[in-house]
Amino acid sequence: MNRYTILSLVLIASVALLIAFSPEDDSVEITGYAENIHEGQNGMTFSIIDPEGNDIRAFYRGEVDGSLHVFKGRYSDDGNILFISEID
């Protein structure tokens, strides 16, 4: 093998390792209004209505009101509920 082949293989392996071990960021940010707010023992469940009119089911451990917010969080494994970590 010549040095360009070896250099190419090292570069490809480096990129593959970088992709394989990079942290997976599956967080989302949604702007919308909170509706159908229900307070439970562990937090609040509600629907986020985004600008397109989508109804996104959400859970937050803190308090939430019906005004316009930016909701940050991650979807459950099955994608049915958005677990909110921060509200701006």
pLDDT of 23 higher than 60? no
Please tell me whether the overall predicted TM-score, pTM, comes out greater than 0.75 for this model: no
Asked whether residue 21 is domain-assigned, the answer is no
* 14, part of any domain: no
Supply 33's token pair. Answer: 């209004």
Number of domains observed in the structure of the chain? 1
Residue 80 lies in a domain: yes
**How far is it, in rounded angstroms, from Cα 32 to Cα 70?**
7
| Arithmetic mean of pLDDT, 28-37 | 96
pLDDT digits (tens, 9 = 90+) for 55-83: 999 999 999 999 999 999 999 999 999 99
CB count in 10 Å sphere of residue 41: 4
Highest mean pLDDT among 9-13, 15-19, 25-29, 49-53: 49-53
Identify the CATH number of the domain in which residue 47 sits: 2.40.50.140
Q: Is 2 part of any domain? A: no
Using pLDDT thresholds of 50, 70 and 90, give the confidence band for residue 28.
Answer: very high
Two tokens at 71?
A: 């909701």
